Structure 1
Amino acid sequence: MRRADRLFQIVQLIRGRRLTTADYLAQRLEVSMRTVYRDIAALGQQGVPIEGEAGVGYRMRAGFDLPPLMFSKQEAQALVATVRMAESRLDAALARQAENALSKILAVLPLDARAAAESLALYAPLPALDPATSAHLTALREATEARRKLRMGYLDLGGVKSERTVRPLACLFWGPVWTVAAWCELRNDFRSFRVDRIETLQALDESFRDEPGKTLADMNRRREAQESGGA
């Protein structure tokens, strides 16, 4: 790793933690403690406001920010690949934002990195979500973020219709289909619903908050317990 890249990584690591020790930095960067001490001193001389001392730990002074990030050719290609693979699987609104974000990143890259990223011969030519599923996924995602209850008309795989009020907890992609994990007030229990089986969806004025036994973490713990019990 070039020294300039290592200095950048040190800044990133310190920014991402409340207190970062030299030992932690040495292990992450695979260098000696002496090298870390030298690099910290060099950053200080360059005006990077790192506070702390050897043997205690380091932190970044509040308010410090970095200039726009630069990416290597391989990192830029990874971003392009990720967006291409995700776009057909996301709802239309989020897919547009992913494309916009990628365009902003590509616009500030050096020409060689941008050319390498845009010429990447890796595609995900899957059909996009159908309009109804895409619209429902948008509504589910927004309701999950806003902690808003939903009224849902659902048709299960057995052809049975039901009307439910749910607390959406998370949207999950399982390869061919999206599901929503939710607390179902009809069943007074956790349920997962296929988004492509939702017939009607209405956001209610009623919001919800996390309650013991009704959270996504509770649902995951139950699933893990069931899986371990059945092993």
Structure 2
Amino acid sequence: MCAQDQEWFEDSLTKPEEIKRTARILDIVLLIATFPRTYQRKHLVERFEVSSRMIDKDLQIIRHGLRLPLMRDQSGYYFERTPDLPMLKLGFTEALALLIAVQSAKGVSGLGGTELASAIARLESLFPDEYTTMLRQLAKPAPLESHYQRRQKILTLLTRAQIEKRKLRIVYETASRHGEISERVVRPYALVPYVRSWQLIAYCEKRQDVLMFKVDRILDAVMLDVFYEIPADFDLDRYMGGAWGMMRAGEEAIEEVVLLFDPDAGRWVAEEQWHKSQQVEHLENGSVLFKVRIPITPEFINWVMYYGAKVKVLRPPHLRKRIVEEHQRAAQRNQEE
């Protein structure tokens, strides 16, 4: 670890915010190593609920402090390689997940302190020196649990279940039916970031179908000692139907949508990968031509409306008409006394 990063860690050992940051950095390493080319910067911002600038600083620590060869392409971040851990029949990602889980277990009553301390010391000794200070920060007392921390606990458990292919028993609060609470056993297939939350794609044994569960509505989750396999023919893109966002396409046909963004909005839109089919063209006047092939869902209509006068719908005509009508309806409502 370089001197500047070492100094940062030593100065921050007693700061709760920096302890949380340390845990976040290790979570980012684990996510990228486990799911390469999946997470873009916007996904990390949404998951950890911090600014883009803070995520950029975290990524610099990963590159220069932990000396991991962090790379990025259109699909997301990935590591060219990860450290070899001698004398351990676990991969890097499995060992890091295990160590984080063991550190978390220190706060659970009934677990032997001596045995846990020994396990932590053994696991820490397997990692390169660059990780030592950061890993030990996880031993610091955590502040009272917040909404963010509860979500992190659930996400960590879901990720472990997905990696280990173990079923989960969850307590879930539905968005409809007046917030009905139910218990069900699920088999996690995918964990997908969306806006400021996450969606779990899983097979529900109660409904006997693949469903989407909003992570923030999972009130409790327990990992079972029952294993499962994801069907070989399951394809996430096919399941989503090429949809925009997390609203699955129904009977809507896939159409080519062409939008013209003003320079300010276009610059921001062009920075992100919104859909696998998108094409972006920068025009001489600074405007951005945005093309995408999708079923036009209410979710996509809301996304277009968000940009107001900064976007013009060029195709298809029925979408342009719908956007005009929605804006007129909104203007009329706001003019009412």
What interval of TM-score do these two structures reach, taking the shorter chain for normalisation?
0.3 to 0.5
Larger Rg: 1
